[in-house]
Structure 1
């Protein structure tokens, strides 16, 4: 049980900072691996999953690399690199296994509330892009993780796949698309809240909303976390054996406050976003797919344009975007001082170097901010030629903070993935970065367990439990087609997906 000391300090096994998908996933894993573990969760807002994990804020749902072209970059020699796509596809299979376990054990409710089948389509136009997509298809379709992917350059076939996208498109335009019927749409906000609802049923788990972590300090073998109750203004100290910083864009400032050597030199580059949200039910009903295209030159990978069918709050929605922008906030509900206050002596050189190396990105973001409604509609009509401005309205999306890290050659480089930073003693870990993020949360948290709970993970008890939750644990699905087929058959059934 969590103990209250005479000086009003609490001591607990684990503190989770941020009530998003990452903290929820880690909390569930730890609770099933060690039921008597005590956990304190601190969230600065008044509800779970209100930042990056929320459906409106999440830049992509169900990332499995089936359609996201930024995960298969074209190399200087013209070849297509698929290593990252294969890794992400495998990680998503791991996530589905864990979610299936939660359903089978009745720890969360009906899968229809958070995951649904939806075709994943990559769509391009122009000779150069068509050649790229054909190469991508040839390479990916040889891997069993992408079995079932189909490719076509026939406008009639593509019209059957995505009527709105092909409606009134020029007959002589060179187009191509791939489709994966195994694609899904995942509402990570709904999933996160279900996991926290389960965790709160245990009296050894306590959630604190409207609580902000102000300081972190390692003392006498424990982390002392100073937290402020934003409702009452009261401050107190919580002591913990292990701390996870899963606060989305807010993770970097907290990592800096921890003062661990491993956190030195990291910086953050915030990117904001907006959606065009369809408000015409007839248009929404005519589209049933996630259609991803190629990013503009200079655009960050998270800004890959897509015409995206989603289920949000039980209703079918249609979004286009995201349109990128720049803000000095690290969180949607953050402060304009977040970026300047994150600049320290140990990271100023990497941040300046990364900034100089990414001037086209800065120019791109400035141009995005200056876009007019007509500019946004012009971008939409590349994917939906018949789009009418009165059918769409602008919706603010979430903030993403891209990782800047030290680099011997360049001084600093801008990363577009996720980065788990852990102390040498495994007592604290922070997750930085963005895409693919939520979709690979389970794999990311298993990596964290291996780094921070290595001794426990070696025990027969934890090994057995982890394999019950994730049957493929210890195996590589990218090289074991028989195991993949067996696991996919089970997760498809449990999660009520289309085969």
Structure 2
């Protein structure tokens, strides 16, 4: 039976969700207002158990070095690299923040969360060779990608990643790019270390506590009802600012709060499974992250990739993703999540978005019907000698992609993240996924700009001491951005770029 509701208490800032976004926001706020009271509520019994967990994401430090969906190809064969430049700049910002925290002692030895791992793009066939050549030509001319290499030669590609070539029939049309400055990141370790520092600085972290209701007060503050899942007791916490980093449950909480900015929004849940191996004979031959091209008509989230990983100190290799259809918005969510999210204002946007994304439906159907033999067959495109007995299937994270209202009653499925902030800035939330954790620092900065408009100018100056990239226009001054990246890489123990 639910316990009695306790008397109200009050905090300056309340954060919901024990993932990397809340951890990053908490770290930033504590550095500009160390006297403020901050509380984080997480419904599970540990932090970083959902999308931030090392086993629930690809671990790629997303810098657009290998992800082909960030460089779309037009019908005339032209390639647009503008998004790749922006994504790379965002990750540079993230690295400068982490580097500063390592210097402070707020984060531990860098190899516990970030390691140099080359990023490769790998394609097959004449048309894809042509695409990759043009992509490389454009990217290698930009300072961010000056050390990228390109090859269509078996011998060179084998040097970069032996597993890609071993057992491959001679004469196949293949091509690859190689970016030696890529990284593998254990975002779960990042999140846990940030929260350890958060608590050490006086922040309150309440595990097994779930937010059940949100009401706005006349003065613009919020009353947040939270339930202790251990004993059923509930209490109301009053907060000036409410920040929601609750993954797939963020939209539900924004709706509870009556935020008009999410009218018409819906979510589409997609789960992912991966093949994994820790066989040293395999992992020794594959120490790169290799991304391929999504099938014709398939969404970018279905890009196949073979990743060298270090999770909790263990070297492994993962291949996937294989999509699954589970109606949950969180891995530890409810099978009723999708049904309970339906509203009169979002039913039509969700339905029309589904009709306009039949490619995703096809991918889901194929992956759901695939057995181990089919999955190994897909893996053979990347590793021709892969043996089924070496690879086990596991379920990775659950993603809730945004369905955003567009014209009339139509909805658009969005593959990315979006920050929703109320008009007065007192409540904000993060929706969506990918590149997600890699852009937690820019996402947090966007939230702070919107929620603390009156203080932002002072905050920006103070935060620059821990985020040196802040205020740098990476588009107009890429060389300065690279200088700051070099300083961060030294702090993070990453090799100097060539």
TM value normalised by structure 2: 0.97
What residue is the counterpart of 2:326 in the other structure?
327
Q: Name the SS for the 1:366 alignment partner.
A: helix
What residue is the counterpart of 1:489 in the other structure?
486
Q: Name the SS for the 1:244 alignment partner.
A: strand
C-alpha displacement at 1:102, in angstroms? 0.5
C-alpha displacement at 1:150, in angstroms? 0.5
What residue is the counterpart of 2:206 in the other structure?
208
Distance 2:6 2:47 in 1: 29
Q: How many residues align?
A: 491
Q: In the alignment, is the contact (CA less than 8 A) between 2:348 and 2:409 conserved in 1?
A: no
What residue is the counterpart of 1:149 in the other structure?
148
What residue is the counterpart of 2:215 in the other structure?
217
C-alpha displacement at 1:290, in angstroms? 0.2
C-alpha displacement at 1:410, in angstroms? 7.0
C-alpha displacement at 1:385, in angstroms? 0.1
Q: In the alignment, is the contact (CA less than 8 A) between 1:145 and 1:478 conserved in 2?
A: no
What residue is the counterpart of 1:3 in the other structure?
none
Distance 1:230 1:101 in 2: 36
What residue is the counterpart of 2:469 in the other structure?
472
Extract structure 1 runs of 4+ deviating beyond 4 A: none
Cα root mean square deviation, aligned: 1.3
Counting only pairs closer than 5 Å after superposition, residues 53-452 of structure 1 correspond to structure 2 as: 53-203=52-202, 205-220=203-218, 221-408=220-407, 411-452=410-451
Deviations 1:369-428 (A, max 9, x none): 111111100000010000000000001101011100110167110000101001000000
Please, which of 460, 463, 468 is the counterpart of residue 463 of structure 1?
A: 460
Distance 1:8 1:70 in 2: 51
Distance 2:14 2:124 in 1: 49
Q: Name the SS for the 1:455 alignment partner.
A: coil
C-alpha displacement at 1:298, in angstroms? 3.6
Distance 2:418 2:270 in 1: 17
C-alpha displacement at 1:485, in angstroms? 2.9
Distance 2:349 2:436 in 1: 23
User: 415-424 or 256-265, which moves further after superposition?
Assistant: 256-265
Q: Name the SS for the 1:479 alignment partner.
A: coil
Distance 2:137 2:411 in 1: 35
User: 477-486 or 439-448, which moves further after superposition?
Assistant: 477-486
For structure 2, which runs of at least 5 residues remain unmatched after alignment?
none
Distance 2:192 2:397 in 1: 18
Deviations 1:293-337 (A, max 9, x none): 011234332221111001111111111111111110001111000
TM value normalised by structure 1: 0.96
Q: In the alignment, is the contact (CA less than 8 A) between 1:328 and 1:336 conserved in 2?
A: yes
C-alpha displacement at 1:31, in angstroms? 0.5
For structure 1, which runs of at least 5 residues remain unmatched after alignment?
1-5
User: 76-85 or 24-33, which moves further after superposition?
Assistant: 76-85
Q: In the alignment, is the contact (CA less than 8 A) between 1:279 and 1:393 conserved in 2?
A: no
Q: Name the SS for the 2:429 alignment partner.
A: strand
Q: Name the SS for the 2:455 alignment partner.
A: helix
Q: In the alignment, is the contact (CA less than 8 A) between 1:59 and 1:322 conserved in 2?
A: no
Distance 2:341 2:470 in 1: 37
C-alpha displacement at 1:359, in angstroms? 2.1
User: 74-83 or 189-198, which moves further after superposition?
Assistant: 74-83
Q: In the alignment, is the contact (CA less than 8 A) between 1:149 and 1:179 conserved in 2?
A: yes
Distance 2:63 2:386 in 1: 28
Q: Name the SS for the 1:401 alignment partner.
A: strand
User: 325-334 or 407-416, which moves further after superposition?
Assistant: 407-416
What residue is the counterpart of 2:26 in the other structure?
27
C-alpha displacement at 1:124, in angstroms? 0.4
Q: Name the SS for the 1:398 alignment partner.
A: strand
Distance 1:405 1:154 in 2: 44
Q: In the alignment, is the contact (CA less than 8 A) between 2:144 and 2:482 conserved in 1?
A: no
Q: Name the SS for the 2:316 alignment partner.
A: strand
Q: Name the SS for the 1:165 alignment partner.
A: helix
Deviations 1:140-179 (A, max 9, x none): 1111111100101111100100101111111110111001
Distance 1:7 1:230 in 2: 15
